[in-house]
Amino acid sequence: MAPSSASLFPHNKLDWLISRIEDKVHAAPDDPHLRLELARALLSRGLFHGGGERECNRAFAVLRKVLQEDPASAEALALSGLALVGMKRPEGAVRYLDQAVRLDGERADLRLALGALAREQGDLGTAVRELESACRMAPDAWETHLYLGRALLDLARSEGRPRRLVERAQYHLVRALRLGPSPDQQAPLFRDMGITCMYTGRFRDAEKFFIRLREHERFRVEAMRHLGEVAYELGKYNNAIQHFRRYLEARPDDADVLARVAMAWFQLGEYARAREACNQALIREPLHLEARHALGCTLLEEGQANEALRVFRETLKEVPEHLPSYLELVRTRRRGGDARWLAQALAAEVRQHDQLPPGGADGPRALTRQRVAVVLDEMRALGPGMVDHVLATIEHSQDEALRFQLWEAACELALGALGATTAARLRAAGQHYGPGLGAEAIASAAVLPDPVLVDGLSIEEADIKRAAVERHPPAAGVREHRQHLDTETNRARAHQAMLLLAIGSRRSAAGKALL
């Protein structure tokens, strides 16, 4: 097992160290330990200090000489595999690393090499497992934590940035920073830490890391882009534009950043400038989705609805799965009150669903269900009158998940209709109170605001007296009139009790305070 130390590779005064070891190798060419020491130093320069493939190739040449004399050297095999990964030759690395595993699988440098290989091959799950093993074997080596942090960050990106994975990546990157990495790695670590802070919504912390990154000449341009992104998320749109402009001075053809500039101008209400930035992005990349989306939104704000719809339709023709464009298309139709178009769109999506291959979470059916959800959301905004259109589409699909989605939406719309009627009656509770209205309040409590339910509790003595006369036949005498009053008093109490149940079922803070 390789010994755990402060680092797996040498980093201090590397040029001097390599020159010194080379002199020793010339003096003692048959000493394998000197060659391994030289290979580690060359690998360090190749992997961590900007030497790249050239230095990894030099290290591999040295290691081949070691293996000619000792083919069973697990250290030489592990370092050879790592060198080949650094040279972007993962296929060649496999043979060396397999041999090293058979000879001595409990080496931190071997597990580091296996993790780097898996990451190069795109197998991020295996990369994380191997690098976790490397961290357990060499817990105080910053290189293992650096590699694991970056592998976890890649895995988080591939899975939609789940917070748990991002925080794990952040932990290992922090560990690498605290273990004192070489100066050449500090700036990339600031960048990676800033990115993890952005992914977890800690934009102030991200800004601090990117400001530190900006101090490094090699990363200054990249830092300006990230500072622009942070400023945008913090709502500092003018600052975002300034940072993006400085970035674009160095990289004027970056369509992604031009699209972000357009969105910043859009947020500031500068629609002409937003449109100009969109067009600049589209000149460089005609199918840039964010720029097209920003252009469509800008045209809507400028009152050019037909032109905006054309942009969204063209985008969907090129990229049918672009949900933001579909959302704006449907929303624009809803704002125009085009209920008929919404009903037709829903029916078309539902009919198409069962004809598509199942796929997975990102398959065609999943996309269609997302589009159905978009249309249903806009139908809810139009109100209960859309419930018949939703119910009519259920028979067009045999997929139970989709049928349930439609049935649930229809129930929500129906509940909205009941809620609207119930709310109107509760506002005149003195006239309509009773167990029937109480039962309606319980049934529609989810869509009734607390103030409406509280107002419905207000029943005055005069309301009961009036109901004793209006809701009953004329009393034959005082005794019968009192019976009518008792009946209405009991109805009022039942009504109030049921409204309290409705308030309690909502579990809101205001309701709890009242109860």
* pLDDT tens, the chain, 515 aa long: 333 347 999 999 999 999 999 999 999 988 999 999 999 999 999 999 999 999 999 999 999 999 999 999 999 999 999 999 999 999 999 999 999 999 999 999 999 999 999 999 999 999 999 999 999 999 999 999 999 999 999 999 999 999 999 999 999 999 999 998 988 899 999 999 999 999 999 999 999 999 999 999 999 999 999 999 999 999 999 999 999 999 999 999 999 999 999 999 999 999 999 999 999 999 999 999 999 999 999 999 999 999 999 999 999 999 999 999 999 999 999 999 999 999 999 999 999 999 988 876 678 899 999 999 999 999 998 888 899 999 999 999 999 999 999 999 999 888 888 888 999 999 999 999 999 999 999 999 988 988 999 999 999 999 999 999 999 999 889 999 999 999 999 999 999 999 999 999 887 776 677 66
**CA 136 – CA 145 distance, rounded (Å):** 10
Confidence (pTM)? 0.77
**Cα distances (Å, whole numbers) of residue 183 to 7, 12, 82:** 14, 9, 22
| 8 Å CB contact between 384 and 416 | yes
The whole-number pLDDT of residue 359 equals 73
Residue 502 structure tokens: 């409705």
| 8 Å CB contact between 153 and 195 | yes
Q: Which residues of 199-233 are buried (b: 16+ CB within 10 A; e: fewer)?
A: beebbebbbbbbebbbebeebeebbbbbbbbbbbe
Residue entry with tokens 């060649």: 92
Cβ neighbours of 439 (radius 10 Å): 16
| 8 Å CB contact between 192 and 149 | yes
The whole-number pLDDT of residue 4 equals 37
For the chain, give every domain's residue range: 1-175, 320-426, 432-514
DSSP helix/strand/coil, 346: helix
Topology (CATH level 3) of domain 1-175: 1.25.40
